[in-house]
Structures are given as C-alpha cells and as structure tokens.
Amino acid sequence: MKTKLVIVAALAATAAQAEFKIDRSVMSEEYWKIWNDAAQTKIDADIEKYRKADGAFEVAAPDGTEVKAEQLTHAFFFGAHIFNFGQLGTKERNARYKALYGKEGALFNSATVAFYWRTFERFPGKPRFEAGAEDSEEFWNTCPNPKEQPHWRRPPTDPVVDYLVSRGCRIHGHPLVWGNNTWMTPNWLWDELCPEAEKAALEKASGVKVPRWKASIPAGAPSRKISKKWQEAWKKIYAKLSEEQIAALVPTFIKAQNECYERRIRQIGERYGAKIHSWDVVNESATDFDLFKRKAVRNRPFDASHYGLMPADYAYKAFLWAGKYLPSTAWFNLNDYNMGDGFFLQAKDLTAHGARIDVVGSQMHLFNPKESANIAIGKGPEHLRPEKIAERFVLVSKANRPIHLSEITITAPDNSPKGQMVQAIIMRNCYRAWFSVEKMTGITWWNVVDDCGAPGEPSISGLFMRDMQPKTAYFAMDDLVNREWKTKTTVKAHGGKVSFRGFRGSYRLTWKGADGKELAQLVEMK
C-alpha cells in the first residue's frame, strides 16, 4: 500500500506543476507556414474521422436525466520504453518514473520491455528473468557510474512485467529476433557454440580471421568495434565461399544457433504467456531481404546476413516459433526503420508462406539537436513536414496492417526554456499528425529521461531531466493524451439510452437516481 501511495503522489506532483501553454514565438514564420492552418485543419478532421466513434448505450435512467460521460482509458496506445526501471538514483525519481505507466490517468498506457538477448542471457542457459542484488534499487541508487554497468537500461524482466501487470498497463516485448551484434546477439553464441576445430577450418578455407567476442565485452559502444570487424569478416567469407561450403565447415554451430533461437522464444513464451500483449517478433530484417533478394521458404543451410551469419530463413522462422510458443492473443509485429520496397515485399512474402503478421512497426529517430534547431527555423528534414508524414504512412499502409510507430525520438536543440519549447512544439505537431493516420494504432516514445539513451543517442531527448524534473515536452504530451484527446461530456437519456461521439476507449457513465444517489456504469466506445 505504501508503494502505491508514493507512486500516486509522485504522479500527482508532476501533473500539478504546470499545464502546457504553447509559445509560438520560438518557431519561425517559415515553420508556421509549413504547419499552417490548412494543415492543422486537415489533421483535426482526420483525428475526428479515424480516432473517434459514435456510441449508444443503454442506461437505467428516465428520459431527460443528465448523464456524465468521462473517458477513463484510450483504445489507442501511447507508449514508451521502460528500460530505466529502478535505475534512476533515488526512490523519489524511480517512483515518479514508474508512475508514468498505467491504465488510467498515467501518461503511458503501454510500455516496451527490453528483451535484448545479449544482456537478457549474458551467460548461456541463464536468462535474466529474476532480479539479483545488482538489479536492486539500492545498487543503482549508490552506483557511481550507472552507464558503465553491463545491465544499464536492461532490467530483469520479471519485476518490470509484474509491475506493469499490477498497473493494468499494456506490455510490448522488444525484440525476439534481431541480427544486430552490437545490441542483440550474445557474445557466447559464436565463441562457445562453434567448436575451435570448425572455426579453424573456416578460417583456413576462407583466409579470413573471424573475431572472438569474449563474455567480458558489454553491449553498446564497447562491442561496436568488434561488431564492425565481425560484419567485415563475414562479408569477405561470403565473397570467397559458397553457402554449401560454409555449412560443411561449421555444421555444429549452424545446428546450435537454430536450437538457441528457438529455445529462447520457447522459454519466453512459457514464462509470460498472455501477460505480454504484443511483440516485435523480427526487428530490422528488411535490409537483409533487400541485399540478398531471398524468399521466406527456401532450402538454405543458413542465411547470409549483413549482420553476419543467421539461421536459415530467420525472419520466417521467427514468426513460426512465435506462433508455436506464444498465445494467439498476442500481436506479432514486423518492425523496421527501413520502410522501402524491400520491407513490403518481405511482409508480402512472409504472409504468403503462412507467417502471421498482425502489425507493422515503423521507427522515427530525430537524434541530432541541430536538426531540431533547423526545424524551428523552417529548414528541418522534409520527412517531418505534415504532407510528408501523410505520404510516408500512405506508403506504410500498403502492408494493409495496423501501424505501430514503435520508436520515437525528438531531441531538443538544447535544454534552455526556448530549446525545451522547440522540442515540445515539434513533438506536439508530429504526434497530432501521426495520431490522425487511419491505420495508426499506437505511438511509443523512446528515451523518457535525459542522458538515459544508448551510446550515440542524444542526451537531451527525454521528456524529463536526469533528475526526473519534467520538461516542457512532458506537459505538451500530457496535454494531448489526458486532455485534448480525452472525451468528457454530458448528455441526456432518451428511451433508456444515451448517445454521444468520443475517442475510442472505456468510459464511466454517471447519473443521479430518483433517490438522489449517484449511479455508475462502465461502457466501451469501439
């Protein structure tokens, strides 16, 4: 009970500090010519058309009775990753962070949980489901250099999932399969599962020295150099040896790699079942599809990949394994930043061969503070102009699936009051444009807190300062999610029903009975 009171108090304190008031003067006339009244009117019309519905609900109220309709939750999901769970340095900061996630009244009704294999299973056969001493709040609150810890931004999954379940928060798992060696592939996969004799045979036949990973190399920047060498080595190997030759040289590894990928998905499915509502089943695989022009079902020993060496038909197999070990209620996402023709050809090919793709995930990272400053003067990247946003999602909608804008970064030019307002205005206008897209089903902000991103990501892209003090963009987002896009109205009962139009989600209807007592009823606007 005490923990819940702290969380509620933290949330209330944050929300009470200020409401968002836009300062148009921080953006140039050129910017407002781009985001002009006509563009805003079009966005408003599409939000009205695609995000709202008409509802008629039976109520036990006499004709003429005033019935209040108050929206409690959104059908649309507004998310963020929750990678810094318990890691922010004080109980107060951690409580404020956790309070952002929940079903009713919180900013985020969806949370992306980290399942990056490299840090999830640092040692073979020992997935980090449960918290250890190094995951405790005490550890992080006294840790002098948290970013140097190998499990920074990678909390064990049990405490995070349990907390989100207790808050009624939607949960998104990220990712199940991804070839990236810097963030995803465990160090031990090649080093320990490929016998030394097979490594030596491959190196002798190809004339290429394959780098060793070693368990001591953490994810992120330290592994980036060896990841580059690894990719370069395999590129040379593919140029010198055929797939059949490579398969004959490292058969033990190819078999073990497949078994480990499948085991990983099976263990996760057994652990979490229906607790997790959606998954990025495959992350960023379209580039491989583009490069190798492969089809989903072929008689291949493995997949040549720009990441290195991957299981045969790994994107296809990932969806089959997910379908085998995860519940049918979970949404399966194909997630990517590369939204070119290869993405749609891959999606078409996968579904044609029986892969269940429920959602397509698209990313947008505005990492460079200079780009944000340029946007403010009307010279920013064209893809963030309203007409270009619309064009992009006409393209993404070609997949004929709901869309999850799965990773969003909008950095501030700086953290001055003006810089924070610039970030807030860019966010507000982009969110409104994304929210207006017909097939859009959710938007997920990436780094919630400043200086908590991955190496190479901007340190001032959060909605909060490092000490969890809210920035202007927080108030702008809260204004959209909890005010502008929430319906609250009063209607009169007629014929035992009330009718109104509102944003899709759950509502509480309240009215006074003949005895003066308040009556209530929960309904769903679909």
Where in the chain are the domains? Answer: 44-73+485-526
- Would you list the DSSP string of 245-291? HHHHHSHHHHHHHHHHHHHHHHHHHHHHGGG--EEEEEES-HHHHHH
CATH class of 44-73+485-526: mainly beta
- Non-local (6+) Cβ contacts of 176 within 8 A are 115, 264, 265, 268, 279, 280, 281, 282, 318, 321, 322
Each residue's pLDDT tens digit in the chain (526 positions)? 444 444 444 444 444 446 799 999 999 999 999 999 999 999 999 999 999 999 999 999 999 999 999 999 999 999 999 999 999 999 999 999 999 999 988 999 999 999 999 999 999 999 999 999 999 999 999 999 999 999 999 999 999 999 999 999 999 999 999 999 999 999 999 999 999 999 999 999 999 999 998 877 777 777 888 999 999 999 999 999 999 999 999 999 999 999 999 999 999 999 999 999 999 999 999 999 988 876 655 678 999 999 999 999 999 999 999 999 999 999 999 999 999 888 999 999 999 999 999 999 999 999 999 999 999 999 989 999 999 999 999 999 989 999 999 999 999 999 999 999 999 999 999 999 999 999 999 999 999 999 999 888 889 999 999 999 999 999 999 999 999 999 999 999 999 999 999 999 999 999 999 899 999 999 999 9
User: For the range 350-353, what are the long-range contacts, defined as Cβ-Cβ under 8 Å and sequence gap of 24 or more?
Assistant: 350/296, 350/315, 350/316, 350/319, 352/296, 353/295, 353/296, 353/297, 353/316
CA-CA distance, 307 to 397, in Å (whole number)?
28
Using alpha carbons, select from 388, 385, 363, 362 the residue that is nearest to residue 375. 385
Which residues are CB-neighbours of 314 under 8 A, at least 6 positions away? 177, 179, 261, 282, 285, 303, 305
Tokens at residue 461, please?
């892209």
Q: For residue 296, what pLDDT is reported?
A: 55
pLDDT of res. 16: 43
Distance CA 204, CA 197 (A): 11
